[in-house]
Amino acid sequence: MNILQTKGYDELSQKAAEFIISKVRQNPEIKLGLATGGTPQGLYDKLIHDHKQNFTSYQKVTTFNLDEYVGLEKDHPNSYHFFMKKTLFDHIDIEPSNTYIPNGEVEDLDAECLRYEKNIEELGGIDLQILGIGSNGHIGFNEPGTSFQSMTHIVELTQSTREANARFFNKPEDVPTQAITMGIKSIMNAKEIVLLVSGESKKEAIKQLLSEKVTEQFPASILNTHPNVTVIVDEEALPKLELNAEKGA
Ligand SMILES: O=P(O)(O)OC[C@H]1O[C@](O)(CO)[C@@H](O)[C@@H]1O
């Protein structure tokens, strides 16, 4: 795992944006895996800024989002469909038909999971997956205990994840109880992964990740076994001294 440490959130977002922009410029038909949540918002702002200033084009880019709540309509302000439109897609030149997000509104959710995996496979797989991490180590909505062999599936959200995400909803009880998420294997199938880790609330999570102990009780730990992962982490999540200690410096 390559670790890139930044001073704060703004620098983290900038570094992540530079990384992604260079990949998009190298391969204009890149398949990007996208994440939601608070962490990538700064990155998406920087991508929009760059698109307007430097005209980086997303016309041929395809995106796959990690997850979606079950039961929220696409235009519900808390759905990840809505989040992606408002936070990124509406502000760049991407073709809406090239943006894939699991559909949490369908009746047959199992069929939707299969369909989503098939879409990814038929389009040649994900080249670069952007990830955030939950404070309990979840990636996508894969909670502790999820099989490392899992593909896209339906999950019951843990109380701690519902509480962490309650800040985006009017009332804590409005947070859905289920989500549809790419599985750990679907994430690991990406050719390259960039994990963004920001803020004090992620201190324990990054520490556990860097301990290199691989266990299904801490889903992100599997990233230690992927051949091409870059972690961009700010000093609030990982103070400089601790990084040096991890490296044995
Ligand atoms: O970036 P945040 O808001 O801390 O969320 C961390 C992770 O939790 C999720 O939002 C799911 O709860 C992921 O999509 C995200 O990567």
Q: Which atom of ligand 1 is nearest to the CA of 164?
A: 12
Q: Look at the chain and report how many structural domains it folds into.
A: 1
DSSP 174: G
* CA distance linking residue 157 with residue 179, whole number of Å: 7
Tell me: the pLDDT tens digits for 4-54?
999 999 999 999 999 999 999 999 999 999 999 999 999 999 999 999 999
- State residue 199's pLDDT score: 97
Please identify which of the residues 50, 65, 67, 165 carries the catalytic annotation: 67
Centre of ligand 1 from the C-alpha of residue 132, in Å: 6
The verdict on residue 148 lying in a domain is: yes
Centre of ligand 1 from the C-alpha of residue 134, in Å: 5
Centre of ligand 1 from the C-alpha of residue 110, in Å: 23
What is the average pLDDT across 152-158? 95
- Which residue's CA is minimally distant from atom 5 of ligand 1? 37
- State residue 231's pLDDT score: 98
Q: How does residue 240 score in pLDDT terms, banded at 50, 70 and 90?
A: confident
The verdict on residue 240 lying in a domain is: no
* CA distance linking residue 176 with residue 178, whole number of Å: 6
Does residue 143 have an active-site annotation? Answer: yes
The verdict on residue 30 lying in a domain is: yes
Please identify which of the residues 117, 138, 153, 165 carries the catalytic annotation: 138
Residues, the chain, total?
249
The verdict on residue 242 lying in a domain is: no
- State residue 249's pLDDT score: 46
Tell me: the pLDDT tens digits for 171-224?
999 999 999 999 999 999 999 999 999 999 999 999 999 999 999 999 999 999
Tell me: the pLDDT tens digits for 77-130?
999 999 999 999 999 999 999 999 999 999 999 999 999 999 999 999 999 999
Please identify which of the residues 50, 127, 143, 236 carries the catalytic annotation: 143
52-90 b/e (C-beta count within 10 Å ≥ 16 → b): eeeebebeebbbbbbbbbbebeeebebbbbebbbebbbe
The CATH number assigned to the domain holding 156 equals 3.40.50.1360
Supply the ipTM of this predicted assembly: 0.94
* CA distance linking residue 205 with residue 125, whole number of Å: 28
Using a 6 Å CB cutoff, which residues line ligand 1? 35-39, 66-67, 132-134, 141, 161, 165
Domain that holds residue 206: 2-231
What is the average pLDDT across 213-240? 96
Centre of ligand 1 from the C-alpha of residue 137, in Å: 10
Does residue 127 have an active-site annotation? Answer: no
Q: How would you classify the pairing of strands 99-100 and 67-69?
A: unpaired
The verdict on residue 246 lying in a domain is: no
The verdict on residue 202 lying in a domain is: yes
- State residue 239's pLDDT score: 86
The verdict on residue 245 lying in a domain is: no
The verdict on residue 237 lying in a domain is: no
Contact between 130 and 35 under an 8 Å Cβ cutoff? The reply is yes
Name which of 114-123, 154-163, 225-234 the model is least confident about. 154-163
